[in-house]
Homo-oligomer: A and B are copies of this chain.
Amino acid sequence: MIRACIFDVFGTLVDWRASIAREAQSLLAPLGIALNWGEFADAWRQQYQPAMDEVRSGRIPFSRLDDLHRRNLDVILKAYGIEHLEEATRRDLNLAWHRLDAWPDVADGLRAIRQKCRVAPCSNGNISLLVDLSRRNGFQWDAILGAEVARAYKPSAVVYLTAADAFDCAPEETLMVAAHSSDLAAAAAAGLRTAFVARPDEKGPGLGETTPLTPVEFSVQSIVELAERL
């Protein structure tokens, strides 16, 4: 019996790429900066796993994702030759990750799933980031779980297990929902059940995962479909 559903957020619930491209353009274009905004979003996101590896490996202590995003932003602004940006602009641009838009099925699907079981994000994003995304997009949770509560980053098993445990659920009573096979493989290895949601345009048109590359219990096209099948 599934008693809790926990959700990856970036890519699975929100369209980070189009949103970051839009936010970057809206802040930087008025300063006379012209870029391929989608590629800028990709470049920023490419720094994401290496930055978390610094934490996962123990080379740096646990840091909230907002702080890692900021380190990564400074790296890519330098790579793009945009080094004259004021501190206030850098700070505002970094908060673009708090202003991402959801895929259209998510708010309705979460509301339906919350009628059936406990729900929380299980994201590498920090609590305040998830609070802002949830208010913006009408996500209603029972709790905010994930990296900041576990003080570790996915795919470390402790992140999934801490989330299940916070809900008083055994791993096998907990369903991890994600658009990324690697996230689901790690959750399954920790004993959780898994659901794959296809987000074919996550990394740009046609560049997201369309089918899971790892065994899963559910494979769906939307959170609404998952709600119907639970």
Contact = CB atoms under 8 A, between A and B. Distances in A.
B168 A143 contact: no
A142 B135 contact: yes
Contact of A131 (B118, B126, B130): B118
Contact of A143 (B66, B118, B127, B167): B127
Contacts of A148: 149, 166
A67 to B, nearest CB: 11
Given A144-B144, A149-B149, A166 B127 contact: yes
Given A127-B167, A128-B166, A167-B128, A143 B143 contact: yes
A140 interface: yes
A25 interface: no
Interface in A140-165: 140-145, 148-149
A134 interface: yes
Given A128-B166, A128-B167, 4 more contacts: A127-B166, A128-B168, A131-B142, A141-B143
Interface of A: 66, 118, 126-128, 130-131, 134-135, 140-145, 148-149, 166-168
